[in-house]
Amino acid sequence: MLRDNERHKLFNRRTAMLAGGQAVLLSVLAGRLYYLQVVESERYRTLADENRINLRLLPPLRGRIVDRFGIPIADNRQNYRVLLIPEDTRDLDLTLSALGQIIPIGQMEQRRILRDTKRNRSFVPVTVRENLDWKTAARIEVNAPDLPGIMIDVGQSRSYPHGADLAHVLGYVAAVSPDDQTGDPLLELPGFRVGKAGLEKIHDLALRGKGGSSQVEVNAYGRVIRELERREGEPGAEVQLTIDMGLQRMVSERLGEESAAAVVLDIHTGEVLAMASTPAYDPNAFNKGLSSPEWQALVSNPRAPLTNKAIAGRYAPGSTFKMAVLLAALEKGIVTEDSEVFCSGFMELGNARFHCWKKHGHGLVNAKSAITQSCDVYFYEIARRTGIERIAAMAKRLGFGSQLGVDLPGERAGLVPTPKWKRGALEAGWQKGETVITGIGQGYLLVTPLQLAIMTARLVNGGFAVTPSLTRAVSRAAPGKNEASVPFESLNLRPRHLDLVREAMNDVMNSPFGTARRARIDKPEWAMGGKTGTVQVRRITKAEREVGVIKNKDLPWKERDHALFVGFAPIDNPRYAVSVVIEHGGSGSKAAAPIARDILEEAQRRDSARNVMAGNFNQAPGNQAPENKEQEDG
């Protein structure tokens, strides 16, 4: 009996302890619940909302690029995309097979789609194909009942309506690469495009705009239930260029499939009215994405379609450089406009003989007639007397040897050689013969077509250091007025020296002895001046000279001379300057001058430099020069 009482007391104590422990635990639990539901209620409500509501970034509309007259040259168009939602189809392979009856889907593309569906959740759309035309998108929509999980999405894609005509100026946009990442959230959006070349790259930040936002309600799996709020972004700025699209298209068509470049400037403002480099490429292809064979075809093309030859092509200027040599000699007092040099067809210096392009010589020539007839011996002689340092200094004043600062990536400086440069670059001393050949624009001297156009502008605008520009305005409004111009610095060239050069360039085109007379403009009010240039790219041996120099047409393309021309118009009141370089084109008078003539004629017909719409945009280019035999130029 006593043992039973002890057992009963022990049981009661244990029961009391257990009950007490349970009471303590319940108190702790109740306290914790109170803390979470009352004290911390606001915090957890916020966390729940954050898990329930997602803030999504919306891409802005990329800004347009327009020409000087407001014509769109880089715009946006509707982009139809076909998307696949895996959870909405029972048989993925069967759906893709049915879709393949409308749009071909290759094996690699199909593997990519299947890979993307496995990486993402089943309700996340996978892009099957972009840049569909409306007709194809409509066919897919009509067949939607037989294509479970397939839907059409409409977005915006960059469009270049003029294709290759402006490729090197505009550049292109393409998908964001790891090197492009700067921390901007827009760059992390799928399918976002950024400027990769040309003005698209230079003005990318302004064209990009500011992103919008969308608040959406999602469930625990991340599926969108509904959109709660939407704020549209700010479209990119509109960029207005100095380019006249009508003139640009004419220049591009006139150069054709040649490996060539041409630049047209307003000589007073430096505005680039046209800049073409051929052959070119279609920038729309980069936006869509190039295939490996397409990319290899571009990079392996010997005529370098990816290079903007107008700013990055470096060429010996040939006889187009003779005006710079003459100005250096006149300024130093080596010659006057009446000083004469006898040309017998060659000049000897030590054991070397330097030939004129005219085998039997020009006889007595002065400054004007030497430019008009492009006499090499005259410029051999005055270069020897003037010296390389003074020639180099004049060349730099006219825009050679350094970047001009045009608003395009990839501009090259060219090269104006000096004894100091040669010692540093080649570890060799300067030779007198190198000064002589620099006098006719050959040797180490290298320039770009843009620099040639700037030199011409500075020669005929009164000697002002005009610089090139491609952008007129960057605005979020409609095309605005041209920005206030800043006076350009004077080059301090003597007016009479400049007049002499312009008169000589006039005679090149309009004198009976001019090297480019057959390429002149017949209308007196549109008459042009200019200077031809033909640049050797191979060495002509003494033996070849004795039997007769091989004609360009009989040589392989790579061994033919480069053809160059610089010009301005009109003669009485200059407004336009042009430079044309045709790689391995042969004679400057036969190949480059007729093209420059047509360009200057079209620029004046359109009145491209004015601030109002000029001419008919769709009018065909001017007549090409008839093929007549012309005298050779230096």
Q: Is 512 helix (H, G, I), strand (E, B) or coil?
A: coil
pLDDT score of 89: 85
Q: How confident is the model at residue 17 (pLDDT cuts 50, 70, 90)?
A: confident
> Residue 509, class by beta-carbon neighbours within 10 Å (0-12 exposed, 13-18 middle, 19+ buried)?
buried
- Name the more confident of 476 and 596: 596
Q: Measured between alpha carbons, how far is 47 from 45 in angstroms, rounded to an integer?
A: 5
Does position 130 have pLDDT exceeding 90, yes or no?
no
Could you tell me the pLDDT band of residue 626, with boundaries at 50, 70 and 90? very low
Question: Of how many residues is the chain composed?
Answer: 634
pLDDT (0 to 100) of residue 537: 83
- What angle do the packed helices 449-460 and 322-332 form, to 10 degrees? 40
Mean pLDDT of the chain: 86
Q: Which two tokens stand for residue 135?
A: 């007709």
User: How many angstroms separate the CA atoms of 432 and 347, rounded?
Assistant: 13
Nearest Cα residue to 347 out of 429, 267, 433, 276: 433
Q: What is the pLDDT of residue 622?
A: 37
Please provide residue 60's backbone torsions phi and psi, each rounded to the nearest 5 degrees. Answer: -80, 165
205: Cβ contacts below 8 Å, ≥ 6 apart: none
φ, ψ for residue 358, nearest 5 deg? -90, 110
Of 76-90, 364-378, 572-586, which gets the smallest average pLDDT?
76-90
Rounded Cα distance between 429 and 432, Å, is 10
Cα gap 586→579, rounded to integer Å:
16
CA 88 to chain centre: 45
Which helix (H) or strand (E) segment is 92 a member of?
helix 92-99
| Residue 181 confidence (pLDDT) above 90 | no
Identify which has the larger pLDDT, 355 or 179.
355
Q: Which of 155-169, 360-374, 601-615 has the lowest mean pLDDT?
A: 601-615
For every residue of 281-312, DSSP letters joined together read --HHHHHH---HHHHHHHHT-TT-TTS-HHHH
Inter-helix orientation angle 388-397/322-332, to 10°: 110
Helix axes 376-386, 322-332, angle to 10 degrees: 40
Structural domains of the chain, with CATH: 56-241 (3.90.1310.10), 245-286+309-477+490-606 (3.40.710.10)
* pLDDT at res. 613: 41
User: What is the reported pLDDT for 438?
Assistant: 97
Which residue type sits at 630?
Answer: E
- Higher pLDDT residue, 585 or 8? 585
Residue 570: cis peptide before it, omega within 30 degrees of 0: yes
Q: What is the pLDDT of residue 2?
A: 52
Q: Which of 37-46, 225-234, 293-302, 537-546 shows the lowest mean pLDDT across its residues?
A: 37-46
Mean pLDDT of 350-370: 94
Given 157, 252, 319, 469, which residue is catalytic?
319
SS3 535: strand
Quote the CA–CA distance of 350 and 305 in Å, as a whole number.
44
**Residue recorded with tokens 């298209």:** 249
pLDDT at site 200: 96
- Which uninterrupted H or E stretch holds 248? helix 245-255
CA distance 396 to 328: 11
57: tokens are 């970034």
Question: What confidence score (pLDDT) does residue 228 get?
Answer: 66
At 609 the three-state DSSP class reads: coil
**Kind and range of the H or E element at 250?**
helix 245-255
Cα distances (Å, whole numbers) of residue 630 to 360, 509, 533, 594, 627: 18, 12, 13, 11, 9
Q: In what order do the strands lie in the sheet with 576-582?
A: 272-278, 260-266, 576-582, 562-569, 529-535
Asked whether the beta carbons of 208 and 239 are under 8 A apart, the reply is: no
Q: Which residue has the higher pLDDT, 315 or 128?
A: 315
Quote the pLDDT of residue 615: 37
Give 233 or 436, the one with higher predicted confidence: 436
Lowest mean pLDDT among 19-23, 420-424, 586-590: 19-23
- Among 35-44, 209-218, 314-323, the least confident range: 35-44
pTM of the model: 0.82
Residue type, 461: N
Q: How confident is the model at residue 110 (pLDDT cuts 50, 70, 90)?
A: confident
> For residue 417, is the peptide bond before it cis, meaning its omega torsion is within 30 degrees of 0?
no
Position 549 scores a pLDDT of 78
Collect contacts of 33-36 with beta carbons under 8 A, ≥24 apart: none
pLDDT value for 54: 62
| Highest mean pLDDT out of 58-72, 136-150, 460-474, 611-625 | 460-474
DSSP class of 446: B
Which tokens sit at 155?
Answer: 């977005």
- Parallel, antiparallel or unpaired: strands 224-231 and 212-218: antiparallel
pLDDT above 90 covers what percent of the chain?
A: 58
pLDDT at 262: 98
Answer yes or no: is pLDDT of 219 > 80: no
617: left (phi over 0), alpha (psi -120 to 50) or beta: alpha
Residue 528 has pLDDT above 90, yes or no: yes
Write the DSSP string, 132-164.
E-HHHHHHHHHTGGGSTTEEEEEEEEEE-TTGG
**pLDDT value at 49 more than 60:** no
Percent of the chain with pLDDT over 70: 84
Residue 56 has pLDDT above 70, yes or no: no
Res 194 pLDDT > 60: yes
Report the candidate in 316, 616, 312, 270 with the shortest Cα–Cα distance to residue 464: 270
- Type of residue at 393: A
pLDDT of 41 reads: 66
Catalytic-residue membership of 319: yes
Q: Would you place residue 460 in the very low, low, confident or very high pLDDT band (cuts 50, 70, 90)?
A: very high
Q: What is the pLDDT of residue 4?
A: 63
Quote the pLDDT of residue 323. Answer: 98
